[in-house]
Amino acid sequence: MSSKTLSQRILPFLILFSFANMDLPAQSLLDVLPVIPKPAQMALQEGNFNLTGETQIILLNSELKNEAELFNDYLEENYGLRLKISSARQSKKACINLSLPDVGINSSREGYKLIVKPSGVAIKASTGSGVFYGLQTLIQLLPPGKTNSLSIPGIEILDQPRFAWRGMHLDVSRHFFSVEFIKKYIDYLAFYKMNTFHWHLTDDQGWRIEIKKYPKLQEVSAFRNGTLIGHLGSTPQLYDSIKYGGFYTQEQIKEIVAYALRRHVTIVPEIEMPGHASAVLAAYPELSCSGKPVEVAKKWGVFKDVFCVKDETFEFIENVLNEVAVLFPGEYIHVGGDECPTDQWKECESCQRLMKNIGMKDEHELHSFFMRRVQKLLSKMDKKMIGWDEIIDGGPLPKATVMSWRGTRGGIAAAQTGNDVVMSPTTFCYFDFYQSKYPGEPLAIGGYLPLDRVYNFEPVPDVLNEQEAQHILGAQANVWTEYISTPEQVEYMIMPRISALSEVLWSDKKARDYDAFTKRLIGHFKLLDFKKINYSKAIFDIHEMVLPHSANGISIDLSTSFKQGVIRYTINGEEPISSSPVYESKIIVDQSVGVKAKIFDGPVARGKEYSRVFKVNLATGKEVVLGNPPHEEYSRGGEFTLVNGIAGNIPWMGSDWLGFLGEGLDATIDLGKELTISNVGLDVLRDENSWVYYPKGVRVLVSTDGLNFTSVKKLDEEDLDPSQRLIKMKFDKIKARWVRVLARNYGTIPVNRPGEGKPAWLLVDEISVD
């Protein structure tokens, strides 16, 4: 059916439609139907279909039994109903018809047509996948919550996906998840019409797949003797001493693969190499260059213990992959390839000899050589190789599929040389990043990836021409679990970001509209509540923007990406309620104040409260000139960050600190007029594991003409206490208009410290003058 006929069928605007006890005009109802990802075409029809225990499922093609059973499982689990399935209509009762008509519904293998009328439901597609997706849509149209009547609005939907690879990844090495949860995770994928589960099965911290030929992978590599407590960036690093681990038996893997297959999800197993191999080397140290024993890693990061490039390694990998290839029927095996330090190869006689013999110019080429050999092994097994974008760093690797995680650059390069690509850039697809800047979020790795950013991801970069763009198979989100240890937390990190990604991957590019999406999402939250799925409400977060205001103080601009409500706020310390003032324009502040705000959807408060204390002093909102610019990675708020009334956030990654690499801070503040001052404060960060060091010394100078400066305070290394985040510099009262604050960078990172020999970072934030 063409889109024209569909739209012609949209009934007049004024007819009211019912959905979940709402009577709404047609267009408004369509807007709130919680179908995610948004179907290609939808048109409401008159009336409703009532699903009851009497409804029958009619299979016009017997191979659709699987889909019908799964639909029945859903009904049974959520509504206590199980419908009769038969191959022909046995009574006049309304029924749900599932069929695979010979004439294709549309050109897409996964597309479907869904018709809901008072007299019955029909789902037609050219494959079982299409019917399955039609049923997912039908499920989303059912009213959430236990109810006596399962009424579905009359509707006609014609739908198909935009991309073939619609994926989600899960790291089960850093933390291990039960078979039961893996199945749930696969359910979530299927519910959002995702079709690829990238199962990250091995890493430094644990090997999680049974390989019969190598029992020590189960006995040794699958367990670690403790785990880092808290963030890798914290000092000192503390560990628990709890033995942690586990693995999936081959029987369990088969069970999961079959479970996924029934839900039209293909599993891409990942076996990491040549880096992230500590767990293997703990069991089989002979596969490293030095042969020295290592332990299954207890903390996160990148480790120097990697596979040695030698025949024994390839023999091991071939044997492992042989077992993996049999277990997973999909065409791809992921072989990692990322973050592989070459230190050990540089010191290894046999690696160096090999490089010389073959004429390789550096270790990148050796990495490439490694991947090429593995690719050959895989093709013998009739499998395609996919790896992280590092696999093409050492030269092109024809026919390999590249998963672009370090931005989209690797993916672009690969598509331009004719490789297939799956996009998964950290900036849009790392669901291990924070999704809210509010305090109280569960500890995460860092970064900031809010829902609207995921939603606005475009997997096909503009620079690609049409032919190159064909190589972008799709995209996926990655869920690395260093800081995600429970199923509830996995749910929190993916919900609702998975729904935004599903729309990126399924729906038409032109149909994407974030505000419209949030309308559907609200209805969808009811479903998540009903199904008791843990999800983030960061969509209701209030964002602040602080700017200097005239001669005195700052202005605070509040906003939200959620356009279906208003912001109400207080500045008297009280909780915002439904009668608090509506935020309409900037709040001007010239003295310290606490601002609280919340989203209200009518009388209903949504999400968490925004609360921030702004500390105003003589420097706040004043002009700052920097003697040297901050490093581009930590310069987001610009020099105003130093005087915006907000002290730097912890966790600091992704927040507004000013960073200087190897260099110090040289900030001159113009107070606007001559004032009497006697105190300067400077906020500094110390996080030596992340190469952020306390300054070696600080100084304050003042001036009345902006040219000649007098030193009023100097603190050297021995005067400073690195445990204090705020450096207080007190001096005798003096008249000044310009205040210059200097902080000396620590310099070179000492030996035996992370980043030894490299320049240290200096991270600073608020400067106060009183």
Q: How far is the CB of 446 from ligand TNX (least distance, A)?
A: 8
Q: Least distance (Å) from ligand TNX to the CB of residue 569?
A: 35
Taking the complex as a whole, how short is the minimal distance between the CB of residue 338 and ligand TNX, in angstroms? 4
Nearer to ligand TNX, 378 or 653 (CB): 653
What's the min distance (Å) between Cβ of 280 and ligand TNX?
Answer: 15
Q: Which two tokens stand for residue 765?
A: 């934030």
C-alpha 485, offset from chain centre:
16
* Shortest reach from residue 435's CB to ligand TNX, in Å: 14
734: number of Cβ within 10 Å: 14
CB atoms within 10 A of CB 463: 11
Dihedral, 234, 239, 240, 244 alpha carbons, nearest 10: 110
Could you tell me the two tokens for 126? 């050219």
Strand partners, 43: 156
Number of residues engaging ligand TNX in binding (CB under 6 A): 9
Asked if 432 is part of the footprint of ligand TNX (rule: CB under 6 A), the reply reads yes
**Which residue in 276, 334, 471, 524 is the catalytic one?**
276
Judged by CB under 6 A, which of 338, 491, 688, 766 binds ligand TNX?
338
Q: Between residue 163 and residue 202, which ones bind ligand TNX under the rule CB under 6 A?
A: none
- The dihedral formed by the CA atoms of 89, 95, 100 and 102, expressed in degrees to the nearest 10: 60
Q: What distance in Å separates the CA atoms of residue 137 and residue 330, rounded to the nearest whole number?
A: 26
Candidate list 69, 255, 295, 339, residue with the active-site label: 339
Q: Residue 305 in contact with residue 281, Cβ under 8 Å?
A: yes
By CB under 6 A, name the one of 165, 247, 370, 405 that touches ligand TNX. 405
Catalytic residue among 67, 156, 171, 203: 203
Is the CB of 405 or the CB of 506 nearer to ligand TNX?
405
428 lies in the binding site for ligand TNX (CB under 6 A)? no
Residue 290: exposure state from Cβ atoms within 10 A (0-12, 13-18, ≥19): middle
In the list 284, 303, 388, 428, the residue contacting ligand TNX (rule: CB under 6 A) is 388
Q: Which is nearer to ligand TNX, 432 or 491 (CB)?
A: 432
Report the residue number, 301 or 706, with the smaller CB distance to ligand TNX. 301
Reply yes or no on whether 31 is catalytic. Answer: no
Binding letters toward ligand TNX, positions 701-720, x by CB under 6 A: --------------------
105 vs 281, beta carbon nearer ligand TNX: 281
Least Å distance between CB 432 and ligand TNX?
5
Q: Give the whole-angstrom CA distance, residue 78 versus residue 72.
A: 10
What is each CA distance from 54 to 84, 87, 94, 118, in whole angstroms?
8, 16, 8, 14
d(CA 636, CA 641): 8
Q: Is 270 in the site for ligand TNX (CB under 6 A)?
A: no
Cβ partners under 8 Å of residue 622, min gap 6? 548, 643, 669, 670, 671, 672
Q: Which residues contact 423 (CB under 8 A, 6 or more apart)?
A: 404, 408, 411, 429, 459, 472, 474, 475, 476
712-715, Cβ contacts within 8 angstroms, sequence gap of 24 or more: 713/680
CB 51 within 8 A of CB 150: yes
Q: Which helix (H) or strand (E) holds 270?
A: strand 266-273
Burial class (CB within 10 angstroms; exposed 0-12, middle 13-18, buried 19+) of 564 = middle
Q: Is the dihedral of CA 268, 269, 275, 276 positive or negative?
A: positive
Q: Which of residues 230-269 bind ligand TNX (CB under 6 A)?
A: none
Least spacing, CB of residue 339 vs ligand TNX, in Å:
5
Which residue in the set 115, 168, 321, 445 belongs to the binding site for ligand TNX (CB under 6 A)?
Answer: 445
Residues 457-496, one symbol each (x = binds ligand TNX by CB under 6 A, - = not), give -----------------------x-x--------------
Q: Which is nearer to ligand TNX, 247 or 303 (CB)?
A: 303
339 is catalytic: yes
What is the smallest separation between the CB atom of 460 and ligand TNX, expressed in angstroms? 21
* Known catalytic membership, residue 251: no
Q: Could you give the CA distance from residue 349 to residue 327 in angstroms, rounded to a whole number?
A: 37
In angstroms, give the least distance from the CB of 493 to ligand TNX.
12
Helix/strand/coil for 11: coil
Q: Which of 339, 365, 544, 590 binds ligand TNX (CB under 6 A)?
A: 339
Q: Would you say 49 or 405 has its CB closer to ligand TNX?
A: 405
Would you count residue 430 as binding ligand TNX (CB under 6 A)? yes
Tell me whether residue 388 or residue 457 sits nearer to ligand TNX (CB atom): 388
CB-nearer residue toward ligand TNX: 48 or 424: 424
For residue 324, the SS3 value is helix
Residues involved in catalysis: 203, 276, 339
Q: Which chain residues interact with ligand TNX by CB under 6 A?
A: 338-339, 388, 405, 430, 432, 445, 480, 482
